[in-house]
């Protein structure tokens, strides 16, 4: 699992609550808990050997992220993805990505650029191999690294409050060959601007990257 701790601090051990929240988040993002489905609390408690209390605390966090809907006296249900959700979330996330890129170009070190370059090279390897799931994972690492290089905790907090909804929409949509090739070309531009510390250019590309994802989602039926 990716470490979602503060990138300005050293690594720390996650609590049971955080581990459970992340596990449920990934189940929802990857569609293993389907949109509209009731969250099987008893089954999850048995599977992960936890009581109802930490599970319900985890569900409260996921509700704040828009991944589940809490129903009074009826438990929780996985939220559905609507076009309105996408139209509202993606522009905000695009603005946050744009700001992250601008700040990263001001603050990033040569060593961090080298680390992101290595991730970019790995991204290309996975693209050429047609390994979509691994490509997605490396893609997330790149965006997280740019966010970390921005060195702004307020930005990080807001970014991560929306990131799961964007990731979920991506997993529920089909990646066409044309869109995948376009995304890779955009990542080449992202890397070039980052290496040049071109904040305005990187800001523009990152915003456009999200706009193109939204356009691709609009053109596809969603499994919800």
Q: In sequence order, which residues have a C-beta less than 8 Å from that of residue 50 and are 6 or more positions away?
A: 16, 20, 44
Closest CA to 173 of 105, 120, 219, 204: 219
Helix pair angle (52-64, 16-29), 10° resolution: 60
Percent of the chain past pLDDT 90, that is, above it, reads 80
- Per-residue pLDDT for 4 more than 70? no
Q: In sequence order, which residues have a C-beta less than 8 Å from that of residue 165 and are 6 or more positions away?
A: 65, 66, 67, 85, 89
The tokens of 144 are what?
A: 């997280």
d(CA 167, CA 163): 6
d(CA 56, CA 76): 9
Q: For CA atoms 204, 210, 211, 213, give the dihedral sign.
A: positive
Partners of residue 77 on adjacent β-strands: 38, 69
Q: Would you call 168 helix, strand, or coil by DSSP?
A: helix
**pLDDT tens figures, 123-140:** 999 999 999 999 999 999
Measured between its terminal Cα atoms, the distance across the chain in Å is 25
Q: Dihedral of the CA atoms 182, 185, 189, 190 (nearest 10)? A: 70
Which pLDDT does position 223 carry in this prediction? 36
The rounded mean pLDDT for the chain is 90
CATH numbers and ranges of domains, the chain:
16-78 (1.10.10.10), 83-218 (1.20.120.530)
Higher pLDDT, 18 or 188: 188
Q: What does residue 159 show for φ and ψ, rounded to 5 degrees?
A: -60, -50
- Per-residue pLDDT for 8 more than 50? no
d(CA 16, CA 199): 39
The tokens of 158 are what?
A: 């807001």
**pLDDT tens figures, 56-108:** 999 999 999 999 999 988 899 999 989 899 999 999 999 999 999 999 999 99
């Amino acid at each position: 699992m990716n470490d979602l701790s503060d990138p300005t601090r050293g690594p720390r051990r996650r609590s049971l609550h955080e581990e459970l929240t992340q596990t449920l988040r990934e189940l929802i993002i990857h569609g293993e808990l389907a949109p509209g489905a009731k969250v099987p609390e008893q089954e999850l408690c048995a599977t992960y050997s936890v009581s109802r209390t930490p599970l319900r605390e985890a569900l409260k966090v996921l509700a704040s992220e828009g991944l589940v809907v809490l129903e009074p006296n009826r438990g929780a249900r996985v939220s559905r993805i609507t076009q309105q959700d996408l139209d509202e979330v993606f522009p905000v996330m695009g603005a946050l990505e744009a700001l992250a890129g601008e700040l990263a170009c001001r603050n990033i070190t040569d060593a961090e650029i080298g680390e992101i370059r290595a991730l970019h090279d790995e991204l290309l390897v996975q693209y050429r191999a047609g390994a979509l799931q691994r490509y997605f994972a490396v893609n997330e690492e790149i965006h997280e690294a740019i966010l970390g290089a921005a060195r702004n905790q307020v930005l990080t907090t807001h970014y991560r409050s929306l990131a799961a909804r964007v990731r979920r929409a991506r997993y529920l949509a089909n990646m066409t060959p044309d869109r995948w090739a376009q995304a890779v070309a955009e990542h080449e531009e992202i890397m070039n601007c980052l290496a040049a510390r071109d904040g305005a250019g990187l800001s523009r590309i990152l915003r456009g990257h999200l706009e193109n994802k939204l356009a691709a989602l609009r053109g596809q039926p969603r499994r919800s």
